[in-house]
Amino acid sequence: MSYIDGMVTAVPKANRQAYIAHASKAADLLRSWGATRVVENWGDDVPKGENTDFQRAVQAKDDEVIVFSWIEYPDKATRDAAMKKMMSPEAMAEFGEMPFDGRRMIFGGFETLFVK
């Protein structure tokens, strides 16, 4: 069964094109390392909640948009190998400055229960 990495982050509205370029480069690398699908989503209807919400989760500022992303892998072993490569100094140097504050990104790996 597939394995998913999920991420939520806040990106300054002014950095939309820089984010697309950054994420596209990452997607190309991840696909070359075994990811079967990379999905990037720019927030359009992300309401503020009464107790919790995406904005609070990533400490979004007024000029930022929530981005929700996921990467699908055939299995956890492929994901672990890809993440090891992605976190290497060589891969990180390729990206330069990130167009968002990575310290406020939330992420995690998820075992797939089912797909309909």
For the stretch 63-106, pLDDT in tens is 999 999 999 999 999 999 999 999 998 888 887 789 999 999 99
Say how many C-beta atoms besides its own lie within 10 A of residue 44's C-beta: 7
- Cα distance between residue 15 and residue 116, in whole Å: 35
pLDDT of residue 1: 84
pLDDT of the residue at 52:
96
In the sheet that holds 3-12, the strands lie side by side as 37-42, 64-73, 3-12, 106-111
Tokens 């167009």 belong to residue:
99
Q: What pTM does this model have?
A: 0.92
- What are the tens digits of pLDDT across the range 38-57? 999 999 999 999 999 999 99
Pairing of strands 3-12, 37-42: unpaired
